[in-house]
């Protein structure tokens, strides 16, 4: 978990590219977290962005 959005975005992008799976950046209790999208299920979190390694585009 991180309180720095920029750091969390960079980590999410890199994790998606490393694992080659969609990764979700989420916020809960004032902190940001990252996990593979298929493991998030219906958790009580606020989704910030989903990173898809197969969709070209900028990291942020």
* Residues 24-54: tens digit of each pLDDT: 999 999 999 999 999 988 778 999 999 999 9
Q: Quick one: pLDDT at residue 44?
A: 86
Name the domain count of the chain.
Answer: 1
Q: Quick one: pLDDT at residue 59?
A: 55
What's the rounded Cα separation, in Å, for the pair 36 and 46? 15
**Is 31 contained in some domain?**
yes
What confidence tier does 2 reach under pLDDT thresholds 50, 70, 90?
confident
Q: Quick one: pLDDT at residue 1?
A: 83
Q: What domain range includes position 46?
A: 5-51
**Is 60 contained in some domain?**
no
Among the listed residues 7, 8, 4, 60, the one whose alpha carbon sits nearest the alpha carbon of residue 34 = 8
- From residue 24, alpha-carbon distances to 16, 57 in Å are 9, 16
The predicted model scores a pTM of: 0.84
What's the rounded Cα separation, in Å, for the pair 20 and 44? 25
What's the rounded Cα separation, in Å, for the pair 41 and 57? 25
């Amino acid at each position: 978990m991180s309180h720095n959005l920029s750091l969390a975005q960079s980590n999410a992008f890199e994790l998606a590219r490393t694992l080659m799976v969609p990764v979700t950046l989420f916020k809960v209790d004032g902190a940001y977290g990252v996990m593979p999208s298929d493991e998030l299920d219906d958790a009580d979190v606020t989704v910030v962005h989903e990173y898809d390694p197969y969709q070209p585009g900028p990291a942020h």
